[in-house]
Amino acid sequence: MTRFGMLPRRLVHLVIIVFGITVVTFFLLRLIPGDPALAILGSNYTHTRAVAIDNFLGLNKPIWTQYGVYMDRLFHGNMGFSFFYDESATTVIVSHIAPTLYLVCFSAVLAALISFPVGFIAGIRSSGVVDQISRVFFTLSFAMPGFWLGIILLLIFSVHIHAFPLSGFGSGFFGHLYYLFLPALTIALGFSTVLVRSLRAATITTLQAEFVDTALMKGIKYRQVLWRHVFRNSVLAVVAVFGVNLAYLISGTVLVENVFSLPGLGTLLVSSVSDRDYPVVQGVTLLFAVLIVVINLLTDVVQAALDPRVGQEIGE
């Protein structure tokens, strides 16, 4: 029970943090110059029309009242109404989730596919060829801005070699995977740097552990030891890294979605900040924050489940 003793406290923290985020987002947004009326009216802006729109959107009430209304609606599951999409903010956000979700999952899978073999081999044969090359390669890719890498990949694989489509999300499960390959690869390469290094380090550490020598002495084949013990332990050690990066990744998809014209949450966030579409910005930020917090919590839980000592330390 002490393993998960930290759970109730963490859940309370989660609620406090999410609440804090709604406050910060709400007030931060309204500090940005310009308002929805300006976005809607553009060059045809007149004070009279702007006031009418503000009244309609409830923006001329005192700010604490507006916040109260927002929180009240939120508790009833209503994220507000998007003036720009003429739909509830919830509907707008839900319709943009798929590309981002696919992208994040696909990137995670690609990153695992790339980094697990490479990191593992680099660890077993450290200072070997794979290790050296991967160090150079991943040092380079870590220093590359994601959007730049995306543009380069697009240039090579879409423009010069017509291997992949230029933009969009495609249709059908395999269509989505095809259209998302380049963007997912862009993200995966950045993601992989930390994974490879972590796995390599974990592999080296595990290899030196006593139980490996014990197993070998017992006569278990080296191959089996590698697979059953070293690999598994190393991968488990990397769980935390994986989970944390995943959370961080979610808010980083914006730039990649921009380069590849994907209609996901990142694109939605940028355009709704531009439009000052307050309910949608608040909704997406909330969603991101909840996702990040939940993923972090899950990562800690998995770690605690695997190693009780970790559970206690994290609870601090």
Partner 1 sequence: MNRAITTQRRSRIVGAGIAALAVAVVAGCGSSGGAAPSLGTGSSAQNVSTLVIANAVKVDTLDPEANSVNESIWLDQNLYSRLLQPNSTGTGLLPDLASSWKIASDGLTYTFSLRADAKFSNGTPVTASDVVYSIKRSRAFSGGWGFLLTAVKTITAPDAHTVVITLSEPHAPLLADLAMYAYSVVPAKLVQSQGSKFFQHPVGSGPFMVTSYSPDSEVDLAVNPYFYGTKPKIKKVRVLIVPNDNTRVLMLESKKADIIENPPGNLIQQIDANPDLNVKLFPSTRVDFVQLDEHFKPFKSQLVREALNYAINRKSIVQLAYQGHATAGASFMPYKMQYFDDSISPYPYNPTKAKQLLAQAGYPHGFNAFLITVSGDVAGQAEAIVLKSELASVGINLSIQSYELLTAYNKEDNGHSEMGERYWTNDIIDPDEVATFGADCQGGANAFNSYWCNSQANSLVAKARAELNSGTRQQMYNQIQQIVYQQSPFIVTDYSPYRYGVGDWVHGFQVTPLGNYDLSLETLTVGSH
Partner 2 sequence: MTTAWANPSELLMQVATRAAGRRRSASRRRLTLTIGLGMLAIAIIVCVAAPLFAKDSPTAIDALRPLAGPFSPGHLLGTDQYGRDVFARILYGGRIDLAIAFGATSVTLVGGTFIGLVAGYVGGKVDSVLMRLVDLFFAFPFLVLIIAIVAMLGPSIFNMFVAIWITSWVSYARIMRAQTVIAKKQQYVLAAQALGYGRLRIMFRHILPNTVSAVIIFSMVDAVGNIILAASLGFLGLGAQPPSPEWGTMISDAQNYILTSWWLAAMPGLAVVFVGVAFSLIGDGLADLLRPGER
Of the pair 109, 209, the CB lying nearest partner 1 is at: 109
308 touches partner 2 by CB under 8 A = no
- Residue 21 · residue 289 · CB < 8 Å: yes
Q: Which does 76 bind (CB under 5 to 8 A by kind): partner 1, partner 2, none?
A: none
**Residue 180 or 281: which CB sits closer to partner 2?**
281
d(CA 236, CA 104): 21
Q: DSSP for 83-142?
A: TTTTEEHHHHHHHHHHHHHHHHHHHHHHHHHHHHHHHHHHHHTTTSHHHHHHHHHHHHHH
Which CB, 265 or 301, lies closer to partner 1? 265
Of 259, 257, 271, 248, residue with least CA distance to 100:
257
Instruction: Give which of partner 2, partner 1, none residue 124 binds (C-beta under 5 to 8 Å, depending on kind).
Output: partner 1
Question: Among residue numbers 195 through 234, which ones bind partner 2 (CB under 8 A)?
Answer: 197-198, 200-201, 204-205
CA 193 to chain centre: 16
| Closer to partner 1 by Cβ: residue 19 or 148 | 148
Q: Are 40 and 52 in contact (CB under 8 A)?
A: no
Q: Note whether 152 binds partner 2 by CB under 8 A.
A: yes
Contacts of 150 (CB under 8 A, 6+ apart): 182, 183, 186, 255, 256, 259, 260
Contact partner at residue 22 from partner 1, partner 2, none, CB < 5 to 8 Å by partner kind: none
Distance separating alpha carbons of residues 23 and 27, to the nearest angstrom: 6
Nearer to partner 2, 5 or 145 (CB): 145
Q: Which stretch binds partner 2 (CB under 8 A): 24-32, 64-72, 161-169, 175-183?
A: 24-32
The one-letter amino acid code at 18 reads: V
CA separation for the pair 304, 2 (Å, rounded): 10
The DSSP output letter for 6 is T
Q: What is the DSSP annotation of 172-186?
A: SHHHHHHHHHHHHHH
* d(C-alpha 258, C-alpha 83), whole Å: 23
Pick 106 or 282: Cβ nearer partner 2: 282
Instruction: Give the one entry of partner 1, partner 2, none that residue 254 binds, where binding means its C-beta sits below a cut-off of 5 to 8 angstroms depending on kind.
Output: partner 2
Asked if 314 touches partner 2 (CB under 8 A), the answer is yes
CB atoms within 10 A of CB 122: 27
**Cα Rg of the chain, angstroms:** 24
Measured from the CB atom, the residue of 180 and 237 that comes closer to partner 1 is 180
Interacting residue with partner 2 among 104, 108, 182, 250 (CB under 8 A): 250
Does 60 interact with partner 2 (rule: CB under 8 A)? no
288 binds partner 2 (CB under 8 A): yes
Q: Which residues bind partner 2 (CB under 8 A)?
A: 13, 16-18, 20-21, 24-25, 28-29, 31-33, 126-127, 139-140, 142-148, 151-152, 155, 159, 191, 193-194, 197-198, 200-201, 204-205, 237, 240-241, 244-245, 248, 250-252, 254-255, 258, 269-270, 273, 281, 285, 288-289, 292-293, 296, 299-300, 303, 310, 313-314, 316
